[in-house]
């Protein structure tokens, strides 16, 4: 079953919509499909801007489905990068400008991929960003640590990664995690206007500017590989089973919907939640 749809907004602008209810979790099939879409759009000479949004209310790109972790860890890239890392690398380096229109929760692996987009516009009322891996006894593996250090600076990146808290759009914009926080009622028109404006310029100049900026801002691939290896090792860490059991008990009390909607709040000390 397809999780993504691709629509033409104009002759050189595309909209990619991710719909995988109820929570837009990321699995190996999600990555395979997204990888194929990036390939296809990268090969289309007409496409200069791609908008990414969500068709699942309350969620944008969410965290990895825990049941899919072994399958994702086994994904192979083009003979070098693991598939989990490669998707973010190719998004950042794609020969089009990628724009995230964030309306809903964006956490974990989804937040890592969102950080790989070129521009990120977040609904002031509905966007939530977080890197909750520490609350599961894990560490990020899709390049989030490297990209957040570039975007937020060392101290704020550490705050985000070590607390596992949720951040609203205004705080995310203040930190540099998103490009701007936009009132929800204005988000679609604003993103469309930015996309059309960029697409109105010559693609050669637009992609050349992106390439130049990428040279000074994208993390080296060896660093991404090191982070992925550390992430895989963390899945067998001593804290994972205990955190997983505590979260399972928490879900039994509050339900999975409450957990997914308020994950940053619940992760602090799941064993102590009432």
Using DSSP, state whether 14 is helix, strand or coil: strand
If you average pLDDT over residues 135-147, what whole number do you get?
A: 91
In contact, 40 and 4? CB cutoff 8 Å? no
Looking at per-residue pLDDT, the higher value among 74 and 123 belongs to 123
Residue 146, pLDDT above cutoff 80: yes
Domain ranges of the chain: 4-199+219-233
- Whether 206 has a pLDDT exceeding 90, the answer reads yes
% of the chain with per-residue pLDDT over 90: 73
The pLDDT confidence band at residue 81, using thresholds 50, 70 and 90, is low
Exposure b/e, 21-56, CB count within 10 A at least 16 = b: eebbbbbbebbebbbebbeebbeeeebbbbbbbbeb
In this structure, which topology does domain 4-199+219-233 adopt according to CATH? 2-enoyl-CoA Hydratase; Chain A, domain 1 (3.90.226)
pLDDT band at 274 (very low <50, low <70, confident <90, very high): very low
Alpha-carbon distance of 196 to 201, in angstroms, equals 9
For residue 240, pLDDT beyond 90:
no
Q: With 0.85 as the threshold, say if the pTM is over it.
A: yes
How far is 100 from 86, CA to CA, in rounded Å? Answer: 18
Q: Across all residues in the chain, what is the average pLDDT?
A: 92
Residue 85 has pLDDT above 50, yes or no: yes
Angle 83-93/28-42 helices, nearest 10 degrees? 30
Q: Is pLDDT at 7 greater than 80 in this prediction?
A: yes
Q: What is the pLDDT of residue 205?
A: 97
**Residue 70: what pLDDT?**
75
State residue 45's pLDDT score. Answer: 96
Tell me if 240 sits within 8 A of 138, measured CB to CB.
yes
Average pLDDT over residues 111-118: 96
What confidence tier does 76 reach under pLDDT thresholds 50, 70, 90? low
CA 248 to chain centre: 24
Digit-coded pLDDT (tens) for 157-201: 999 999 999 999 999 999 999 999 999 999 999 999 999 999 999
Q: What is the pLDDT of residue 271?
A: 46
């Amino acid at each position: 079953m397809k999780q993504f749809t691709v629509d033409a907004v104009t002759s050189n602008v595309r909209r990619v919509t991710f719909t995988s209810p109820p929570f837009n979790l990321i699995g190996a099939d999600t990555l395979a499909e997204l990888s194929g879409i990036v390939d296809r759009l990268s090969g289309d000479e007409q496409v200069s801007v791609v908008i990414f949004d969500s068709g699942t209310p309350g969620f944008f790109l969410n965290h990895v489905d825990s049941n899919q972790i072994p399958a994702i860890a086994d994904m192979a890239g083009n003979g070098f990068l693991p598939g989990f890392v490669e998707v973010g690398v190719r998004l950042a380096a794609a020969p089009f400008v990628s724009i995230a229109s964030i309306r809903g929760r964006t956490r974990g692996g989804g937040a890592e991929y969102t950080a790989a987009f070129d521009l990120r516009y977040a609904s002031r009322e509905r966007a939530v960003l977080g890197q909750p891996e520490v609350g599961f006894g894990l560490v990020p593996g899709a390049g989030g640590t490297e990209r957040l250090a570039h975007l937020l600076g060392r101290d704020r990146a550490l705050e985000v990664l070590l607390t596992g808290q949720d951040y609203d759009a205004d705080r995310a914009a203040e930190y540099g995690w998103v490009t701007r926080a936009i009132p929800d009622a204005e988000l679609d028109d604003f993103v469309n206007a930015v996309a059309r404006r960029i697409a109105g310029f010559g693609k050669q100049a637009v992609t050349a500017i992106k390439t130049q900026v990428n040279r000074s801002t994208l993390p080296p691939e060896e660093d991404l590989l090191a982070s992925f290896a550390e992430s895989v090792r963390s899945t067998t860490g001593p804290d994972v089973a205990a955190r997983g059991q505590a979260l399972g008990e928490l879900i039994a009390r509050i339900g999975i919907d409450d957990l997914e909607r308020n994950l940053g709040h619940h992760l602090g000390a799941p064993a102590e939640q009432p």
